[in-house]
Every structure is written in C-alpha cells, then in structure tokens.
Structure 1
Amino acid sequence: MQFNELGLAEPIMKALASKNYVTPTPIQQKAIPVLLEGKDLCGIAQTGTGKTAAFALPSLDYFARNPRVTPVKGCRMLVLAPTRELAAQIAQSFRDYGRFLKLSVETVFGGVPIGKQIRALSVGVDVVVATPGRLLDLIDQRALTLKDVEIFVLDEADQMMDMGFIHPLKRVAKMLPADRQNLFFSATMPKEIEALAAQFLNNPVKVSVAPQSTTAERVDQQMYFVNQGEKQALLHLVLQSEEIDRALIFTRTKHGADRVVRFLEGAGIDAFAIHGNKSQGQRTTALQAFRQGKVKLLVATDIAARGIDVSGVSHVINFEIPNVAEQYVHRIGRTARAGADGIAISFVADDERPYLKAIEKTTRVKLEVTPLPENFMDAVRALPKPAAPKKGPSQSPQQQARRADGQRKYQDGQRQQRGTPDRAHRPEGDAPAKRPFNRRRSGGGGVGAHKGAVQRTGAPR
C-alpha cells in the first residue's frame, strides 16, 4: 500500500510528496483507513513507528473536507501529550502535513507567561496540542473550552499514567462533548491503561503492530554489572571505546542527570542535561544542540524517553536502569529508528537487579552480560573530579540570584501565612497548579504564569 491509495485529500498528498513520503508504516496502514471512516481507534505501537502521522493525516483530511469557523476560546481538535517536547513535535508534524491547508495550530505547555497563551487562544484554533496540567490551568481561568472538540487524541497514554496524570485525564474526559471521534495510542496496554481507554473510547477498532512491550529487533542490547559508585568511570570507558554518533544517557532522577553531566564536563566531555527542572529555554537549547550534532551526549530522565525524536541516535546508555520495566522499552526506542541499527548499554548495580529481572520478563529478552574492561579499576582511581555547577544559559547569574531570592521570600511568606511546611515538590511534567499558589504568584495565572506556555504556530504554510 502507498499513500496515494488511501484517498487522502489533495493538499495533504501534496505535503507528503514534498517530504518524499510514499509508503506508510504498518501502524499508518492499519489506522488511517479506520480513522477516515470516523471510527474510534485504540492503537498499540512502539515509539518511532509513525504514530503521529497515523492520527494527523486522517484528522487533517477531515478538516480539509469539513471547513468550519473556529469556535471562540475553543478548538476543533485536542491532542494530549505527556511532555513538552512531544507536544512540540506533534504540533510541528501537523504544521508540516497541513502546510497547504488554512489551519491554526497551538501548542500549550510550560515556557511563557499565561497571558500570551490566553491571547493566542481567544479567537479559537483548529488544533490544540497540550500537556494536561497547562490545559486545565487555561480551562480553570475560562480561557479555553472543550465543548466544541470534534476529534480527541490521547497520545502515549501509558506515559501519562506513569507521570501521575490519571486525575487530570478524568477531568478532561468529563468536559469533552459526547459526539466526537476518539483516538487512543499507547506503546503498552496493561489493565490500568485499558480501564483508562474505556473512559474515552466508544466501540473502538483496535490495531497493533507489535506484541506488547517488545523491544526493537535492530537494537544490540548489552549490560554490565557494576557498583553504583563506579558507574561514572565505566561511562567514561564506554564513551572512549564506542564509535558514537549521538548517545542518550538515561538516569532515574534529575539530580542524577546533572551529576553525570558535571562528571563528564570535569573530564572535558561536552554534554547537556534535559529534565523537568530545566527551563523551557534550556530544554529547547539542549535538544537543538543534540539534534544538530553540536553535542553528541544528552543526559535525560524518563521525561525525555518519548518526547525526543532525533534521527542518528547510535547509542542509548542506561546509566541507571528504570524501575518501571516498560520505560526500558521507551528508552531504547530512541535508537534503531528509520531502519537503522542501534546499541543499548545498561549499567546494573546490585540494588537494581530486581529491576533487570522485571525488564527481561516484560521484554522476553535476556540481556547480554559484558565483562568490565581490564583497566577498569585504574579508570576508577583516575576518575576526574566533577565540574562545578554552572548557571543555566537562559538567565544571567544576576537574574538567577534575584529569582532565587524572590522564591525564598515568597515561600517564607507562604509558610508564615499558612502555618504549614513547604509545598510538596511538583512531579515532572505540567501537573495542574493549586489555585491559592496561582493567585499569589501571578495575579490569577499561578504556576501557569511563569511556567506555562503556548507556542503560536499559526496557519500552516
């Protein structure tokens, strides 16, 4: 099957031709005909299989054949994604595939003041791609309504569950109109995800292009048993011995990611970290440098496991293996994309052996054990000291000092006023903000005012 056999509208075919897209991927071949008929769909496919085009192309076809005025403070299509990076990636795909259609596309996630976002959405848009928390901040401020949504997409549903978005998703489900088309995509389908799907889907067609939780066939999976305190030395040796085009290095925590970067910089090795504590400017800068090949190493937490679509990633290194087995699938799915081969290397400490056992059970793959290098202990003794923490590129040292001082004063004032301890640390992602915090912080916009964002993509060219 080829794209010209699917019956897509001429402007979409023109956009596909400009990108030299001829043959749809398996998930696209199965999903697009179903969605063109207006049916609900539950799709199971690994990352990197073309899921975005599988729902973007038939949705754009619907808009091309059913032009309407955009609803004020509303949207015709809503796409929910777990991370900012994935939301931006999806929106860019809509802009590329719909470049010859007169459609507006908005991305809603952390990064700019909420006032800019409210203004951008006030006239209504065709497609909103959002993270759940930022979306609910807008709805709570009556800047956006979902009553006019005709197509709803929940992408990376299992990642949404892992990041604690179950309650925001249930809220969104109650706000959507009954008469709509629903598209539900997930790389894995445990019972919890099936229960979530039942809240959104109406007699869906189920499509799957791979057994659940399988790993990419073209990924050479290796592992080392190593003490936790010696992993940094092993990482240096692996980086010296491997021919690396681009490598993603995964840690379980934000602090761990920053620590790995400082050790690499101490050894004169350039690397960036990307995680939920980084500003949107820092995350964008790091991702662009990695995508353009200016830096070969990107150290990330699992927030980036599905939000990074970068070709040419030759290696995935699990500096710390995930404590959720399915995350391993998503991590190594960042390599061996578009028909290429890839290498996944995992460092396993003694306390991580239960995680390894769960991964091998879930993936049905026995990881190959690689012995430590002969000069390993010499490398441990010669490990350079980590570089000192440096200020982020998005702010000057003076700006960062003023902001930190302001945050301390604000938090002290809040504790004195409420008589309560520090507010719980907010999880990675864009979880909804608490209203009292919002009003104090930004006159009603809340965390949304200084962390929320909309990127105006405008009508596709």
Structure 2
Amino acid sequence: MEATNFKRFELKPFLIEALSAQRFSLPTEIQERLIPAIKNGKDVIGQSQTGTGKTLSFLLPILDKIDTTKDEVQAVITAPTRELASQLFDELKKLIEHCPEDNMIHAKLLVGGTDRQRAIDSLKNQPHIVVGTAGRIGDLVDEKALLVYTASMLVVDEADQMLDMGFIADVDKVASRMAENMQMMVFSATIPEKLQPFLKKYMNDPRHVQVEPKHVTASKIEHRIVPLRNRDKMKFVVELAESINPYLAIVFTNTKEQADEVTKVMQEAGLNVDCIHGGLQPRQRKQIMKQVKEVKMQYLVATDLAARGLDVKGVTHIINFGLPKDLDFYVHRVGRTARAGADGIAYTIFEQNDQQAVEKLLKRGIKFTYYDFKKGEWLKLDKPPLGVPGKRQKPTSNQEATTKGPKKETVNTGTGKAKAKPKKVKPGYKKKAKFKQAKEAQRERRISSRKK
C-alpha cells in the first residue's frame, strides 16, 4: 500500500517509503494540519489525546528538514518519562531505517537510569537528532558532552504531564541553550494555565491546533461498571481478572502502594502478573516492558505512568481498580485497548464514593453498561445498580451471560415442567417491601434532581 496521500506534503522519498512499509496511507487530522506548518518553520501547539497520530505529525517534518551534510545536533525531542522517550525513539528508528546509506540520519536516545559515562562517550560524534528525558539531556548539556547550541528544533511532548512532574524547568534549561531562531513544537492533551509563561517565553505566534477525537474514547470499547457492594476489593479484583481470561489486561491503580499490593495478591492467586510504576528501578521497568511487548505475561498492574502515550499492543481488557482523581486519565487508561480497529472492554470497580466521578464521565459522553459478578457468572443488569449513576437501558444480547435479574430457583413437579419454588414470606413482608420501594423512589428523585 503506497502512502500516496502523504506525497502532497512533498516529503523526502525515504519517508514515503517508510510510511508505505508501515501501511500508513491516509494522514490523520493533526498530521494534515501540522505537517505543512512545521515544514515551514512555524512554532506549533498540537492539542490532542493519545491515538490521534501526533507523533508522526512532528517526526516526519523534522526528518525532512535534517541536513545530513552537517554533523551537528539539529533537533531535540523531550518526553516526561523514559518509557515515552523510548517509544518515540522506536518510532523514529522505523523511519530512519529507510534512509539511503550515503545520506544517513543519526539519532541518539538519552534517558536517565543508564550509564552516564557511556552516554558521554557515545556523544563524541554528535547525532542529528536527540530523543530523551529533559533531565538527562540537561545533564549532558551541562557536561558539554551534548552541544545543542546548533539545534533549531525542539519538541516538548506530553507538556502537561511534564509540568505536573516538575520537568518544565529542565526543558527550559535546554531550550535556553539552543539556537536563537529555535522552532518549538509543543504537544499536550491539555494546556494548563501554569504552562502559559513557558510557552510565551519561547513561542512566536504559534499555530494552535486542537483535535477532538470523534469519540471521547474508541468506539469499540465497552465500558462496564461493576459494583463492589460489600465484597473484599482485593479478592474481588482477583475474581474479576480470572473470569475474563484476557490476552493481555492492564489493571490500573492510583498509587504505587496499591499497585504493589494488587500485584502481590494476584501473584498469590497464581496469575501471570507483574507491575510497573515510578518507584521501580529503570532496569526493572525496562525489563517488564520488554516482557509485556513479548507477551510473556497476561496481566500488568500499572499506575497512570503507563496510561499516557505508551503503545502496548494486544491489550484486550482494562480493569480500573479505582477511578483516577483526574478523569482525563480515565480516557488515557481505556485508550490502551481497542486499538487499530480491535475490540476492548474496560471494567470499573464501583464504590459509593465514585458516584460523582461516574456522573462526570457520563456527561462527557461515555456510555456505561452495568454488570454484576456472582458465583462465577457475569450478569448484565437492565438498569444501574442502586447508587450507581446512569439511565435505565433495554437489555441487549451479549457474548457473556445476561439476565434481567436473579435466576428464579425452581422445583421439579413430577409433570416434566419446572415450577417456581415458593418463597417463604416473613411477617410484615408487605409493609417492609412498600417502605423499601418508597426509599428507592426517594433516592432516585434525589439523583435525578442533582443531574438537573
């Protein structure tokens, strides 16, 4: 499949060849709107969620502008985490490998957690492009091992996360050492107010492109809410994980401590699981990500570190052990599944204090289905369980067990027909039933009035 639609950007032939090799034929919206601007040297802000094709929107024009006759740094690409930097570098290598041998572009990955002296030694010949974490790049600039004063292109990827993690100061330090005519490209899901001083300092009349996905999340994700009720949460997440038998599932937790605890409980239950979070040593994280890519585990427990931009292929299920405080991360989490046209299911274990968060997600356009898990079976509910926000839905056929309510217990009458077993009626049953119905109606009215 030839990347004919990219030809109108007048990119170098090796880039068209690389796109064809990866079966990319149609530019995404953000690529359509930003590639020409970046090629023309304009500062840009690309505001979009993961999965919109933003990485190629800056890699393609940067590679197109590299002058291989100059053995000097021409572009610096920064990311907030080692994993994201490594992923960007992998995408860059896929494009570079199609360069003609006599016109080769050289790139270097520079991240923390690796041998510092070895990194310094590797920079005796300056690369054309540097990809890495701002902290490590800044250290090597201070050491005068990396010479960025010749670089005229700077990419700040996942800028809002960079701000949250306190790395904007490191980016600022690197940017201040770069060429005066520097072109800055900033990519972020959101543009917080606190980011504005940094943008105004370096950007000159930037082209701001905001791309809203057609759906808040991929259309092939089914969002399922499962009430915890009075169950033990740790035991329940194990039962849930065992029941789905995924190709690869990611279990998201809100803290490193939770991630470690959930991993331990799942391992004790005999599940093939490991975890990744910011508290692990770089070597451990790299090793775990290698195992994930080679599909050597069935479950990965992760904090939101893994939710931003990490491209883990083959994820069939997401389990939210808890909803994130920042609901944008819900979108990032579930975006790990249903990629490249595949289906995916996202489970959220619901507790009573999640009510407000679910209401906000409903307002964002996320459609939930409601399930319960009893005695090893999934039961689809035709309305949200008590206390769970949502609208009553008609039951639909599904690949898993569905029901309008609890299965009636039956007795054999001897006639070949099953007859419902009569329930024992306790004293005051009707009075209690009426009182319960009145309480439920009162609660539904309160929920309805809050929504209005």
User: Do the two structures share a fold, i.e. TM-score over 0.5?
Assistant: yes
The aligned residue for residue 416 of structure 1 is none
Q: Secondary structure at the match of 1:310?
A: coil
1:93 and 2:94 are equivalent in the alignment: no
Q: Report the alpha carbon displacement of residue 319 of structure 1 after superposing the two structures with TM.
A: 1.1
Q: Report the alpha carbon displacement of residue 97 of structure 1 after superposing the two structures with TM.
A: 0.6
- Within 5 Å, give how 1:211-222 maps onto structure 2: 214-222=216-224
Distance 1:87 1:250, change over 3 A: same
The aligned residue for residue 370 of structure 1 is 370
- Within 5 Å, give how 1:284-299 maps onto structure 2: 284-299=286-301
Which of these two proteins has the greater Rg computed from alpha carbons?
2
Q: Report the alpha carbon displacement of residue 369 of structure 1 after superposing the two structures with TM.
A: 6.1
Match of 1:22 among 22, 25, 37: 25
Contact 1:213/1:326 (8 A) holds in 2 = no
The aligned residue for residue 74 of structure 2 is 76
- Read off the aligned partner of 2:77 and give its amino acid letter: V
Deviations 1:162-194 (A, max 9, x none): 222233233333333320221111122343344
- Within 5 Å, give how 1:123-272 maps onto structure 2: 123-210=125-212, 214-226=216-228, 230-272=232-274
- Within 5 Å, give how 1:22-61 maps onto structure 2: 22-61=25-64
Q: Secondary structure at the match of 1:321?
A: coil
Contact 2:18/2:94 (8 A) holds in 1 = yes
Contact 2:79/2:158 (8 A) holds in 1 = yes
CA distance in 1, matches of 2:129, 2:220: 35
Q: Report the alpha carbon displacement of residue 24 of structure 1 after superposing the two structures with TM.
A: 2.0
Distance 1:193 1:354, change over 3 A: farther
Match of 1:310 among 309, 312, 322: 312
CA distance in 1, matches of 2:357, 2:195: 21
- Within 5 Å, give how 1:373-412 maps onto structure 2: 373-375=373-375
CA distance in 2, matches of 1:136, 1:109: 10
| Farther off after superposition, 81-90 or 30-39 | 30-39
1:7 and 2:22 are equivalent in the alignment: no
Larger RCO, structure (CA 8 Å, separation 6 or more): 1
Distance 1:243 1:229, change over 3 A: closer
CA distance in 1, matches of 2:176, 2:355: 42
| Farther off after superposition, 138-147 or 247-256 | 138-147
Unmatched runs of 5 consecutive residues or more in structure 1: 377-461
- Read off the aligned partner of 1:95 and give its amino acid letter: K
CA distance in 2, matches of 1:263, 1:176: 49
Q: Report the alpha carbon displacement of residue 148 of structure 1 after superposing the two structures with TM.
A: 1.4
The aligned residue for residue 396 of structure 1 is none
- Read off the aligned partner of 2:29 and give its amino acid letter: P
Q: Report the alpha carbon displacement of residue 356 of structure 1 after superposing the two structures with TM.
A: 4.5
Q: Report the alpha carbon displacement of residue 360 of structure 1 after superposing the two structures with TM.
A: 5.0
CA distance in 2, matches of 1:301, 1:196: 28
| Farther off after superposition, 130-139 or 48-57 | 130-139
Distance 1:51 1:228, change over 3 A: farther
- Read off the aligned partner of 1:67 and give its amino acid letter: T
Q: Report the alpha carbon displacement of residue 302 of structure 1 after superposing the two structures with TM.
A: 1.4
Aligned length: 370
Q: Report the alpha carbon displacement of residue 128 of structure 1 after superposing the two structures with TM.
A: 0.8
| Farther off after superposition, 203-212 or 318-327 | 203-212
CA distance in 1, matches of 2:36, 2:230: 50
CA distance in 1, matches of 2:58, 2:230: 42
CA distance in 2, matches of 1:241, 1:166: 43
Match of 1:323 among 325, 330, 348: 325
Q: Percent identity?
A: 35
The aligned residue for residue 68 of structure 2 is 67
Contact 2:249/2:299 (8 A) holds in 1 = yes
CA distance in 2, matches of 1:203, 1:68: 31
The aligned residue for residue 432 of structure 2 is none
Distance 1:265 1:3, change over 3 A: same
CA distance in 2, matches of 1:332, 1:197: 30
- Read off the aligned partner of 1:80 and give its amino acid letter: T
| Farther off after superposition, 212-221 or 239-248 | 212-221
Contact 2:222/2:369 (8 A) holds in 1 = no
Distance 1:161 1:329, change over 3 A: farther
Distance 1:330 1:77, change over 3 A: same
CA distance in 1, matches of 2:208, 2:153: 17
Contact 1:326/1:359 (8 A) holds in 2 = no
CA distance in 1, matches of 2:13, 2:6: 11
Contact 1:108/1:117 (8 A) holds in 2 = yes
Q: Report the alpha carbon displacement of residue 301 of structure 1 after superposing the two structures with TM.
A: 1.1
TM-score, normalised by the number of residues in structure 2 = 0.75
Q: Report the alpha carbon displacement of residue 325 of structure 1 after superposing the two structures with TM.
A: 2.0
CA distance in 2, matches of 1:229, 1:122: 60
| Farther off after superposition, 120-129 or 225-234 | 225-234
TM-score, normalised by the number of residues in structure 1 = 0.74
